[in-house]
């Protein structure tokens, strides 16, 4: 009931499981559900569904009412913030749009409640999950289904907000008043701290924020400059104390501090920076359609982590039903038609988002990499800075580029590191594909023993083909997972001598 059982990890397996362990009082939860349905007397059955950020139960009462219960894991972030924000977002959208979202029956953001966990209880969405129906939908109906999704979801992009952050109820007692910006047209809601755990909070398994160089900066933010400064602060907050050797990451971070004030003033960025709310995970697994007609959307679920971002934040968002085909666009290919259907839907129904698709990538990519210099290393962000520098005049910046040119030795070092980084990325992609695992090492529980054995064999084969201890040590250093016995091959080679 409480532990996570859907999968295992080839890296930090125990920590990943601990972060997803949710203890609560199931009997109290059942009592709460029965109190919502006076004609029900008992729980008939239930199904547990586990995601990375929530534990979900679909519970059926003896009078055949189906309800969905959602309990956040610690990976999702602060239970109070993430729960209050999701409920507030749903209630705000139901009050101001016609987006089909299941009704919320009860909720509590305080983990100290009698159930023992923050929770949301809501009606089950009608229809069938698009992910389950997709393979059997005819091609022409898939195109119409995408059009229906656009019609259902994109009206929320027309909602106007005065700041960036996350929606909350204005009476949320756990948020200081100084971090609440009430909405001008509805004082029941406010914009408060950003609740996304991966960027602004210290909830990622195996990753720490030291806050030595910068304190937490989670918003809300009145303007784009403040929003960009928070990304800078988020990156700097990950850097360990100065007595640890991270001068390269610090140097890249400080270059970012110099360039962002110019970047946010660029006309293309300014004109596409309207505070915009959108679904945080618009994929087939979160969309319900009619069982009788796939062109009717009956429900859009999972608004956890929804936030108000600059419109350009969504410039490269691509749902899994409209990915750009790997072989490129074609007028007749089904994947291309699906991609074009979604893009046309955005352009016609959500011009605020459609316009962002035309922004030069050189302007956007620094926003995506700056806060990740500690996780990804200095190379990706430095690469984007160099691309921006090379495009500075072409992009029409009025002032001189603040990114300094590299000296010969620095350039040689950077190019060597870039080559190593690109090689490592290719190696990791191949490895993930061969093993059939996610980037963090997640594998379905039923494949655990198989994947673990394949992983060890993959590692051993590579170690066998290396000639010296230095190369083996380099391999150990870059190896992304810890579920192997790294000394096996070394001992075997020593025994053969």
Q: How sure is the predictor about 486, in pLDDT bands with cuts at 50, 70 and 90? A: low
Q: Where are the domains of the chain?
A: 1-123, 194-273+360-405, 422-496
Q: What percent of the chain has pLDDT over 90?
A: 66
Distance of CA 1 to the CA centre of its chain: 26
Select the more confidently predicted residue: 243 or 428: 428
Q: What are the distances in angstroms from CA 193 to CA 6, 50, 82, 107, 267?
A: 31, 27, 10, 20, 27
Cα separation of 317 and 313, whole Å?
Answer: 8
Examine the pLDDT at 8 and tell me if it is beyond 90: yes
Mean pLDDT, the chain, integer:
90
State the sign of the Cα–Cα–Cα–Cα dihedral 195, 306, 173, 55.
Answer: negative
Task: State phi, psi for 46 to the nearest 5 degrees.
Answer: -150, 160
Cα separation of 10 and 276, whole Å?
Answer: 37
**413 secondary structure, DSSP code:** H
pLDDT digits (tens, 9 = 90+) for 266-277: 999 999 999 999
Of 174-183, 212-221, 285-294, 320-329, which range is least confident?
320-329
Please give the pLDDT value at position 276: 98
- Name residue 120's beta-bridge partners: 70, 107
What is the full DSSP assignment across 39-57? T--SEEEEEEEE-SSEEEE
Please give the pLDDT value at position 196: 84
Q: What angle do CA 75, 437, 205 make, to 5 degrees?
A: 20
Please give the pLDDT value at position 178: 96
Examine the pLDDT at 316 and tell me if it is beyond 80: yes
Q: Under a CB-based contact definition with an 8 Å cutoff, are residues 401 and 389 in contact?
A: yes
State the sign of the Cα–Cα–Cα–Cα dihedral 241, 247, 248, 250.
Answer: positive
Helix (H, G, I), strand (E, B) or coil at 472: helix
Q: How sure is the predictor about 129, in pLDDT bands with cuts at 50, 70 and 90? A: very high
For the segment 92-102, the average pLDDT, to the nearest whole number, is 97
- Name residue 190's beta-bridge partners: 168, 182
For the segment 237-266, the average pLDDT, to the nearest whole number, is 75
Please give the pLDDT value at position 340: 92
Cα separation of 368 and 305, whole Å?
Answer: 17
Q: Which of 100, 67, 492, 150 has its CA nearest to residue 350? A: 150
Q: Under a CB-based contact definition with an 8 Å cutoff, are residues 340 and 325 in contact?
A: no
Please give the pLDDT value at position 327: 59
Please write down the long-range contacts of 456-461, taking CB distance under 8 Å and 24 or more positions apart. Answer: 456/484, 456/485, 456/488, 458/431, 458/434, 459/484, 459/486, 459/489, 460/488, 460/489
Please give the pLDDT value at position 62: 96
Q: How sure is the predictor about 424, in pLDDT bands with cuts at 50, 70 and 90? A: confident
**179 secondary structure, DSSP code:** G
Please give the pLDDT value at position 373: 73
Tokens of residue 362, six digits: 């050189």
For the segment 401-416, the average pLDDT, to the nearest whole number, is 89
Q: Which of 178, 128, 183 has its CA nearest to residue 161? A: 183
Q: How sure is the predictor about 71, in pLDDT bands with cuts at 50, 70 and 90? A: very high
pLDDT digits (tens, 9 = 90+) for 16-26: 999 999 999 99
Pick the most confident of 199-208, 250-259, 339-348: 339-348
Cα separation of 364 and 338, whole Å?
Answer: 25
Please give the pLDDT value at position 495: 44
Q: CB-hemisphere CA count at 13 Å for 122?
A: 22
Q: How sure is the predictor about 51, in pLDDT bands with cuts at 50, 70 and 90? A: confident
For the segment 8-34, the average pLDDT, to the nearest whole number, is 96
Of 254-258, 298-302, 479-483, 486-490, which range is least confident?
486-490
Distance of CA 272 to the CA centre of its chain: 21
Identify the architecture of domain 1-123 in CATH.
2-Layer Sandwich (3.30)
Select the more confidently predicted residue: 215 or 247: 215
Give strand ranges (E) for 94-141.
104-108, 119-123, 128-129
Task: State phi, psi for 327 to the nearest 5 degrees.
Answer: -90, 5
Q: Which of 465, 483, 259, 281 has its CA nearest to residue 381? A: 259
Please give the pLDDT value at position 242: 66
Cβ neighbors of 57 (< 8 A, separation 6 or more) are 29, 46, 47, 48, 49, 68, 69, 71
Q: How sure is the predictor about 331, in pLDDT bands with cuts at 50, 70 and 90? A: low
Please give the pLDDT value at position 326: 62
The H or E element that residue 453 is part of is helix 448-464
State the sign of the Cα–Cα–Cα–Cα dihedral 305, 320, 384, 351.
Answer: negative
Please give the pLDDT value at position 491: 42
Greatest pairwise CA separation for the chain in angstroms: 79
Cα separation of 320 and 322, whole Å?
Answer: 5
Please give the pLDDT value at position 371: 81
For the segment 314-331, the average pLDDT, to the nearest whole number, is 77
Examine the pLDDT at 197 and tell me if it is beyond 80: no
């Amino acid at each position: 009931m409480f532990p996570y059982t859907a999968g295992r990890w080839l890296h930090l397996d125990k920590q990943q499981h601990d972060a997803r362990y949710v203890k609560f009082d199931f009997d109290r939860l059942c009592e709460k559900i029965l109190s919502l349905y006076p004609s029900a007397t008992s729980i008939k059955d239930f199904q547990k569904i586990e995601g990375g950020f929530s534990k979900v139960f679909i519970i059926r009462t003896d009078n055949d009412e189906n309800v969905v219960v959602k309990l956040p894991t610690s990976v999702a972030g602060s239970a109070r913030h993430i729960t209050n924000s999701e409920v507030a977002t749903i209630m705000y959208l139901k009050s101001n749009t016609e987006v089909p979202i299941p009704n919320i029956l009860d909720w509590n953001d305080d983990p100290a409640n009698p159930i023992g966990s923050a929770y949301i209880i809501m009606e089950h969405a009608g229809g069938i999950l698009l992910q389950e129906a997709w393979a059997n939908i005819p091609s022409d109906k898939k195109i119409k289904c995408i059009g229906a999704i656009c019609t259902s979801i994109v009206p929320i992009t027309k909602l106007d907000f005065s700041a960036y952050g996350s929606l909350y109820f204005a009476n949320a007692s756990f948020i200081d008043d100084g971090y609440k910006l009430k909405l001008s047209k509805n004082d029941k809601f406010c914009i408060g701290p950003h609740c996304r755990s991966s960027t602004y909070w210290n909830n990622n398994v195996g990753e720490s924020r030291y806050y030595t160089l910068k304190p937490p900066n989670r918003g809300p933010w009145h303007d784009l400059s403040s929003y960009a400064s928070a990304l800078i602060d988020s990156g700097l907050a990950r850097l360990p104390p100065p007595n640890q050797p991270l001068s390269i990451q610090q140097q890249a971070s400080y270059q970012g501090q110099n360039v962002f004030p110019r970047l946010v003033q660029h006309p293309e960025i300014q004109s596409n920076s309207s505070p915009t709310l959108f679904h945080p995970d618009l994929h087939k697994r979160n969309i319900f359609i009619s069982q009788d007609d796939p062109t009717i959307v009956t429900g859009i679920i999972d608004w956890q982590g929804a936030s108000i971002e600059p419109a350009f934040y969504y410039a490269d968002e691509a749902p899994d039903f409209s990915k750009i085909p790997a072989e490129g666009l074609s007028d007749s290919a089904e994947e291309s038609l699906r991609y074009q259907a979604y893009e046309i839907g955005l352009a016609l129904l959500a011009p605020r988002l459609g316009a962002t698709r035309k922004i030069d990538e050189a302007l956007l990519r620094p926003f995506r990499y700056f806060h990740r210099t500690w996780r990804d290393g200095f190379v990706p962000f430095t690469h984007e800075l160099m691309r921006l520098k090379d495009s500075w005049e072409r992009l029409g910046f009025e002032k001189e580029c603040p990114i300094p040119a590299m000296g010969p030795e620095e350039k040689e070092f950077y190019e060597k590191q870039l080559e190593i980084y690109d090689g490592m990325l290719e190696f990791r992609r191949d490895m993930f594909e061969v093993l059939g695992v996610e980037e963090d090492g997640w594998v379905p529980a039923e494949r655990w023993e198989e994947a673990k054995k394949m992983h060890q064999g993959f590692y051993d084969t590579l170690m066998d083909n290396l000639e010296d201890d230095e190369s083996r040590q380099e391999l150990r250093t870059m190896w992304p997972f810890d579920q192997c016995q790294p000394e096996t091959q070394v001992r075997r080679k020593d025994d053969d001598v």
